[in-house]
Amino acid sequence: MPCKRCNGTDFQRDDATGNSYCCGCGTLQEYDNYEAQLGGISGPQGTYIRVGTTGTGSTLAYKDKKIFEAGNLIDDITERLQLGEKSEEVKRMIGKITDGEFGKGEWFSVLVGACCYALVRKEGSGVLTMDEIVNVVGCDLHQLGSMCKRVVEYLGIELGEFDLVGLFVKTASSSPRLSGVDGKKKERVVKQGGFLMNCSLKWFLSTGRRPMPLVVAVLAFVCQVNGVKCRIDDLARDCEVSLCTCKLRYKELLERLVKVAKEIGLPWAGDVNVKNVVKHSGALIGLMEAKSMRKRRGDELVISSDGVCLKEIVRDCLRKEAMYCYDDDDDDEGEKSSFLQMVSCEDWWKGKSKMSQRLKLKEVLERDVGLDDLPVSFIKGCDAVERRREKIKAAKLRIGAVQDPCDDDDKVSGRELSLEIGDGKKKRKRGCEIDWEDLVIQTLVLHNVKDEEIEKGHYNALLGLHVFN
């Protein structure tokens, strides 16, 4: 290639720079020392930005930067969850799950929260709810639950029992509604609440359910018993839980206490109902506490802590029975106030029972508080099965009456074909009318579906399997 200035062909190469120049005019030749960067995946690396680095002059590799940022994120989340001292353990768990690769993005934040929850449940050293983690991480509750399940299964972690009493103590201590309550009364509220949380665990009110609505219900109840002005609406708003669910747990708690009043032998148990059980709760909780601490000595039941005889307590209750009788229709505020003072828990509550502390489920079930109840869902399930069984029987009678109307031996009346349906608060006679469930059951019976399968109530599956196939 001749010189572009003088068209000369005599060139020499400079020893210092390696560039060629024209001997006639001294012009440098362009692209004389150009080396083509050819090759595939294993070819030479780039001239300016080396593959795998963050740019010119940087020696920090992409993986190292990712791990560094992941460590900062873990430290930030654990600090906000007040688990700063456990950040290294969380990093170790995540490193084992990701084979040391860690990660970044929304999924990694959810993974950090799941590891924090699994670690706290494993050690049993504190209380951490999924709701708190969701608020910190900013993810969906179901997304966090799914990630927790995967973490537990992958690492083979055995989760400890959830600390209901610890959650109640934490909620009550941090509640702004109790900030103005004196220390002695607040301590009594916390101990009574812990006692009722263990009782709720024994009565299966927390089985398969989120714990916070029950905590709010118990806190509202003990505040009402101790004369602390605190509404369940405000507590539910502070804890960011559904008010409807909290009221349902509150109602279930009152129903259990009414049963306890009848089972424990409260002298005026016949007058106790859901509407006035709060007024009787001072004596009732005191007797439940005494019963949970009792030991037998001869023929008497003795409280092990201070040697109080349970029979003397009951005798004292009998002496005061007249004092606790009242008229349900009397709305005089003065009488109600004096009545609440008479049944004040200060007269009965000692606060010495171990049921006020955190106990294992096995220990709670071994304690006697006056009532051993079955889970609410189990009772409702049994009632539903019995109701379906009656509907199946009525459907068979209707089918038999249509198929063989002239058979005098098997003739049934309209009353036998009808069902008396209990709908919670009231009962109504349907006569010969039937609802959609009766029609579905009748259709399944006509298709020879077994009674045991119909009683389970999976109508859509049975219709698809036996009718619409």
CATH of the domain at 272: 1.10.472.10
392 and 336 in one domain?
Answer: no
Contact 21, 29 (CB under 8 A): yes
pLDDT of 294-343, one tens digit each? 754 444 444 444 444 555 555 555 554 444 444 444 444 444 444 444 44
Structure tokens at 114: 């799941």
| Half-sphere exposure in the Cβ direction for 223 (13 Å, CA) | 23
For helices 211-225 and 164-174, angle between their N-to-C axes, nearest 10 degrees: 60
Task: Decide if 53 is inside a domain.
Answer: no
Residues 272 and 169 in one domain: yes
Give residue 350's pLDDT band: very low, low, confident or very high (50, 70, 90).
confident
Question: Could you tell me if residue 55 is inside a domain?
Answer: no
Report pLDDT for 366. 86
- Are 351 and 394 within one domain? no
Asked if residue 18 belongs to a domain, the reply is: yes
pLDDT at 6: 84
Give rounded-to-5 percent helix, strand, coil for the chain.
55, 5, 40
405 and 335 housed in the same domain: no
Which of 107, 131, 155 is the last residue before a domain boundary? 155
Q: What is the pLDDT of residue 341?
A: 42
Task: Report the pLDDT value the prediction gives residue 442, as an integer from 0 to 100.
Answer: 92
Average pLDDT over residues 411-425: 52
Q: Once rounded to an integer, what is the mean pLDDT over residues 351-356?
A: 82
Asked whether residue 318 is domain-assigned, the answer is yes
Whole-number average pLDDT of the chain: 80
Cα-based torsion angle of the residue sequence 441, 442, 448, 450 in order, rounded to the nearest 10 degrees: 30
Assigned domain for 196 exists: yes
Torsion angle defined by CA atoms of residues 189, 195, 196 and 199, in that order, rounded to the nearest 10 degrees:
180
pLDDT over 90, % of the chain: 39
According to the model, what pLDDT value does residue 342 have?
41
Q: Report d(CA 195, CA 356) in Å as an integer.
A: 4
The answer to whether the beta carbons of residues 293 and 350 sit under 8 Å apart is no
For the record, the structure tokens of 195 come out as 């006692």
**pLDDT value at residue 413:** 55
| Domain range for 456 | 376-466
Region 381-387 average pLDDT: 94
Whether 227 and 136 share a structural domain: no
Decide if 50 is inside a domain. Answer: no
Same domain, 419 and 398: yes
* Residue that is written with structure tokens 């171990």 in the block: 354
216 and 337 assigned to the same domain: yes
Structure tokens at 97: 């799950």
Name all contacts of 59-62 with Cβ < 8 Å and 24+ positions apart.
Answer: none
Angle between helices 211-225 and 183-202 (to 10 degrees): 130
Last residue of some domain: 155, 177, 207? 155
Amino acid identity, residue 122?
K
pLDDT in tens, 34-65: 555 555 555 555 555 455 555 544 545 788 88
Residues constituting the chain:
469
pTM: predicted TM-score of the whole model, two decimal places? 0.69
Task: Summarize the confidence of residues 359-369 as an average pLDDT.
Answer: 86
- The predicted-structure confidence for 184-233, as pLDDT tens digits, reads as follows 889 999 999 999 999 999 999 988 888 999 999 999 999 999 888 889 99
Residue 334 and residue 411: Cα distance in Å, rounded? Answer: 64
DSSP secondary structure, 344-389, as one string: -GGGT-----GGGS---HHHHHHS-SS-----HHHHHHHHHHHHHH
- 203 with 337, same domain: the answer is yes
Instruction: Say if residue 106 is in the same domain as residue 203.
Output: no
User: Is the residue at 41 inside a domain?
Assistant: no
- Residues 4, 71, single domain; the answer is no
Residue 42: other Cβ atoms inside 10 A: 5
Where a domain ends, among 155, 182, 216? 155
**Residue 102 shares a structural domain with residue 207:** no
CA distance 184 to 188: 6
pLDDT at 445: 93
Total tally of structural domains belonging to the chain:
4
Q: Do 281 and 360 fall into the same domain?
A: yes
Segment 61-102, tens digit of pLDDT: 788 889 999 999 999 999 999 998 999 999 999 999 999 989
Sign of CA dihedral 400, 404, 410, 412: positive
Tell me: the pLDDT tens digits for 221-265? 999 998 888 899 999 999 989 999 999 999 999 999 999 988 887
Return the pLDDT at 288: 86
8 A C-beta contact, residue 445 and residue 399: yes
- Dihedral in degrees, nearest 10, Cα atoms 151, 153, 159, 164: 70
Residues with Cβ within 8 Å of 60's Cβ and at least 6 positions away in sequence, in order, are 53, 54
- Do 129 and 212 meet the contact criterion of CB atoms below 8 Å apart? yes
118-122, 373-377, 445-449: least confident range: 373-377
Structure tokens at 450: 């077994």
Residue 351 lies in a domain: yes
